[in-house]
Amino acid sequence: MTANTPLVDTAEEWEVRATDTPFVGNKTSVRTDDVVMPDGSVARRDYQVHPGSVAVVALDDQDRVLLLKQYRHPVSMKLWEIPAGLLDIPGENPLHAAQRELYEEVHVKAEDWRVLTDVYTTPGGCSEAVRIFLARDLSEAEGERFEVEEEEADMEFARVPLAELVRGVLAGELHNNCLVVGALSLAAALAGDGLDALRPALAEWPARPFEA
């Protein structure tokens, strides 16, 4: 890196000579693109087209993070996770989606919302972008609990101190991407400029543009 090179990811789109969608699923699809490389050659790239997701690090007044444990069939494991869900509607406001997921998965609402971090989960093979929020000033949601089904009907719940999460991540005991990134980002924010310095909940998100 030179002194004139800023440490920031930049948008760029290489020429696509041909494209095909050999598989279309319920929420995602698989696309094959023939992409022109810098030397003029053409390389074929297969990847999953994903609508994007949101996740929530919900921090209670005892500095514990709300977790759920859910079975994930592709990896044949039950993973501890933070509340998360798909951006099912094109252009959907990610804050509204995160508030919905917090209510549906743990029946909790929050008064204070910040953007903790934005990530691409697996940019070499999937277009999924995830915005991870920090939610504070928690309280029990009103009304009946959201009716769960399938894998969600078997979920476990816990409130875990951040230090215990960080220890579990570094020990290789916790593997969910959003939990790992969220826990380490929260620890970094606390050790740095503090939580009030985080971006506002409606900060721009070029990876998934939305209406405020």
Which of the residues are catalytic?
Answer: 152
How many angstroms separate the CA atoms of 145 and 148, rounded?
9
Contact predicate 57/116, CB 8 Å: yes
Task: State the Cα–Cα distance between residues 181 and 133, nearest whole angstrom.
Answer: 11
Is the distance from CB of 94 to CB of 208 less than 8 angstroms?
yes
Give the closest residue to 202 by CA, choosing from 98, 50, 90: 98
Burial class (CB in 10 A: 0-12, 13-18, 19+), 138: buried
Pairing of strands 129-140, 77-81: unpaired
CA distance 94 to 121: 16
Cα dihedral: 158, 159, 165, 169 (round 10)? 20
Q: Who contacts 82 (Cβ-Cβ below 8 Å, separation ≥6)? A: 55, 56, 57, 58, 65, 66, 67, 68, 132, 176, 178, 179, 182
